[in-house]
Structure 1
Amino acid sequence: MSNVVILCVDDEHIILMSLREQLNRNFGDRYRYEVAESVAEAWEVIEELSMDGSRVLIIVSDWLMPEVRGDEFLVQVHKRFPGIVNIMLTGHADEVAIERARQHGNLYACLSKPWSEEHLIGTIRAGLENEAG
């Protein structure tokens, strides 16, 4: 199993399953695909991955989630793990939140829901190249 990870965070299970399926279809077993239905669960996943020697390369996070908004989460992630490429996927984010995530959370891209698989995969590929470079 790969020790490099793409983590998807969204409070809608169907969205997470769709993201995982699209990632698997396009990247196969090159990466491990983890999902979390809340920011709290995402932190648990990140901690577990860190302890087992895995490395999160990219986080694809929804913005509008209960308790903690995606921009706040990505700012926190960037403070602890500045090398992770952050992508926000949302149908509701306001420009202030997006700009905050860009300024303080190393936001690589913001994609709108519904997304196209081609645009999502292209953005992730570019983010991975950016991370490697």
Structure 2
Amino acid sequence: MRNLTNIKKQLDLLVDYIKENPNILALYIFGSYGTEYQNENSDIDFAVLYERMPSLNDELSLEVKFSEILGTDDIDLINLNKASLEFKHKVIYTGDLLYSRDYLKLADFKENVFKFYGDYGITMKFFYDDYLKGLNENAL
């Protein structure tokens, strides 16, 4: 479980802010922040799922607003709509959902990610196993 008590107030302000944006479907926090792996170099990682693809200006404006609310530039804001399948899976599987505007649309998104990742994951495991085998052979 992620411990976010030190930034609870700021997270509440972030959620209040994104509730005003009808294009944001969901907000996740992921990564090491608030976990046992957090250290002095840990940034705060967020992932945003949009209803429609935002403009670059909208994405940058959102990141600036997050920095203002949190009082730090040490954040990463990832657009889940653009992320790789592996990354989407990682966020859903390891991250914590902070906000969802529409649970049905979020459920559809998650279902698609898990469905495709299930097929893709098998192929990737073979690839990584073969890659590691090649590394071990070259190390001899």
Q: Same fold (TM over 0.5)?
A: no
TM-score, with structure 1 as normaliser: 0.29
TM-score, with structure 2 as normaliser: 0.28
Name which one, 1 or 2, has greater alpha-carbon Rg. Answer: 2
Which structure shows the bigger proportion of residues in strand conformation?
1
